[in-house]
Amino acid sequence: MKHILFSTAMALAVANAAHADTWDMPTPYGDTTFHTQNIAEFAKDVTSATDGALEITLHSAGSLFPHAEIKNAIRSGQVPIGEFFLSRLVNEDAAFGVDSQPFLATSYEDAQKLWAAQKPVVTALLAEQGLVPLFSVPWPAQGLYTNGEIATADDLSGLRFRAYNAALEEFAALAGAAPVQVEAPNIPQAFATGQVEAMITSPSTGANSTAWDFVSHYTPIDAWVPKNIVVVNQRAFRRLPQEVQASVLAAAQAAETRGWEMSAAEADAKIAILKENGMEIVTPSAELQSGLQAIGAQMLEAWSADASEAAASILTTYQE
């Protein structure tokens, strides 16, 4: 009898252990990036809220899947959860790319409004792929990193320009520059080897990649406020016990709020670090801004021409 009870206890213990889930989570950016730090917090929140029933193991800096493969890895169920740069999906639907349209939404307030308009459309598109968005967090407004001062848009002509998505490629090309795709963790190497000589990114990514080692000037053109998104595979999510699902959603909501606050705090703090390390912070000239805005207007026309009715509705809702 004793023997039987013992075996039952063992079987129960094994069953319980089998119940605890571990989720591998690929992300594209490095550990010093505030997005990654926010996700680490999210993972910790999930573990504590579920008493360890769900553990999320973070694989940052594209170490488990390269950035370009993360979305499809979640879709196919190779991993249950992951993060990527939302506007990378613009080739699937214009709706994904609206936050990377130059000079459309350039403040956090506008970015919030744009996300409110974009979220339902993006959620429906992702649902078609069996994906559920958990939270989305913006980067600080995108600024210009160059050697020497850039007084007009024409000054960008001929520069080998680092790009991270199709919109930035288009922007650089329209300015007469030569775009080259480089993932954030590879920025220092791309500059060191002369593959690129200028870029547009946030003060966060500039500071995290020690931009002062390879460029002298930062011009805060505040061109757009693009977002990362964390999504889960719907099947994997539904397999979780109800109360674990609820804990994940609560932690996600907290992560979105915290992430937007972290982003806002980063903007000035990281510009200060660029300055401390000897970079020149240049107020953009009116001529530069108007030249770049003209490129933005041209791009928005092209975006609109490519937009489905649902995607176009994002713009209408936002502009209301």
- Site residues for ligand PCA per CB under 6 A: 85, 139, 142, 164, 184, 201-202, 204-205, 226
CB nearer ligand PCA, residue 162 or residue 217: 162
CB nearer ligand PCA, residue 80 or residue 226: 226
Q: Closest distance between ligand PCA and the C-beta of residue 112, in Å? A: 17
CB nearer ligand PCA, residue 142 or residue 146: 142
Q: Closest distance between ligand PCA and the C-beta of residue 184, in Å? A: 4
Q: Closest distance between ligand PCA and the C-beta of residue 239, in Å? A: 32
CB nearer ligand PCA, residue 217 or residue 270: 270
CA distance 268 to 48: 32
CB nearer ligand PCA, residue 118 or residue 205: 205
CB nearer ligand PCA, residue 195 or residue 245: 195
The residue at minimum Cβ distance from ligand PCA is 202
Q: Closest distance between ligand PCA and the C-beta of residue 85, in Å? A: 6
Pair 22, 55: CB distance under 8 Å: yes
Q: Closest distance between ligand PCA and the C-beta of residue 205, in Å? A: 4
Q: Closest distance between ligand PCA and the C-beta of residue 208, in Å? A: 8
CB nearer ligand PCA, residue 208 or residue 289: 208
Residues in CB range of 239: below 8 A, 6 or more apart: none
CB nearer ligand PCA, residue 256 or residue 266: 266
The full 3-state SS of the chain, as one line of letters, equals CHHHHHHHHHHHHHHHHHHCEEEEEECCCCCCCHHHHHHHHHHHHHHHHCCCCEEEEEECCCCCCCHHHHHHHHHCCCCCEEEEEHHHHHHCCHHHHHHHCCCCCCCHHHHHHHHHHHHHHHHHHHHCCCEEEEEEEECCCCEEEECCCCCCHHHHCCCEEEECCHHHHHHHHHCCCEEEECCHHHHHHHHHCCCCCEEEECHHHHHHCCHHHCCCEEECCCCCCCEEEEEEEHHHHHHCCHHHHHHHHHHHHHHHHHHHHHHHHHHHHHHHHHHHCCCEECCCCHHHHHHHHHHHHHHHHHHHHHCCHHHHHHHHHHHC
Q: Closest distance between ligand PCA and the C-beta of residue 240, in Å? A: 30
| Residue corresponding to tokens 């809220």 | 49
Q: Closest distance between ligand PCA and the C-beta of residue 290, in Å? A: 23
